[in-house]
Amino acid sequence: MTMKTRIAATVAAAAIVLSAGFAAAQNYSLNPRYGTLNLSAGFQPDPQVVNVEAGGSRSARNLNSACAGYIDERPDVRLNYQSGQFQLMISADASADTTLVINGPDGTWYCDDDGGNNGMNPLLRFNNPPSGQYDIWIGTYSSGATQRAQLYVSEVGSR
């Protein structure tokens, strides 16, 4: 194989790998399945609770190797948050093992599996939360399987 052919083959292979990665990405520009919460520090009632069907067909591991579970393409819930002096806790509660994936205002992917209630539910705590948009997904461990769950957003405690 000539050098020119090798370079062309390498570029073609890289394009295929990159396009596959982008196709698997979550799309936080889509409208969330279960709505948007617009909250400012000191919000009431605390916690805010949203009923969801957790799960989807996309592996959260494609976002970050520390992420687990299967989630939908579009967010389950969008949180627009104006921070203050409080911490921010986002958690999920379900009768089955669930995971939590959040794209924070800084563009970082945050994930948790069992940091919350009963050792099966996720919890992410932001001690100094930035203001901005938090796109939230709740996942399950089987592709395509859904599970009734509740999303909790709190500044004073976790579920």
Phi, psi torsion values for 5, nearest 5 degrees: -65, -40
Q: Model pTM? A: 0.82
Examine residue 159 and state whether it is found in any structural domain, yes or no: no
Domain region containing 145: 3-154
How much is the pLDDT for 103?
A: 96
Examine residue 79 and state whether it is found in any structural domain, yes or no: yes
Examine residue 66 and state whether it is found in any structural domain, yes or no: yes
pLDDT at 8 > cutoff 70 = no
CA 148 – CA 118 distance, rounded (Å):
16
The H or E element containing residue 139 is strand 132-139
Examine residue 16 and state whether it is found in any structural domain, yes or no: yes
**Six-digit token string for 113:** 């599996």
Q: Write the pLDDT tens digit of every residue in 67-93.
A: 999 999 999 999 999 999 999 999 999
Examine residue 54 and state whether it is found in any structural domain, yes or no: yes
Q: β-strands 88-94, 123-126: how paired?
A: antiparallel
**Six-digit token string for 93:** 């509660």
Q: Which of 102, 100, 112 is nearest to 139 (CA)?
A: 100
Q: Which of 64, 72, 69 is nearest to 34 (CA)?
A: 72
Q: Write the pLDDT tens digit of every residue in 94-119.
A: 999 999 999 999 999 999 998 766 67
Q: What is the CATH number of the domain that holds 30?
A: 2.60.120.380
Q: β-strands 36-40, 77-82: how paired?
A: parallel
Q: Which of 142, 146, 157, 133 is nearest to 30 (CA)?
A: 133
Domain count, the chain: 1
Three-class HEC string of 100-113: EEEECCCCCEEEEC
CA 123 – CA 126 distance, rounded (Å):
10
Q: What is the DSSP letter of 119?
A: G
pLDDT at 57 > cutoff 70 = yes
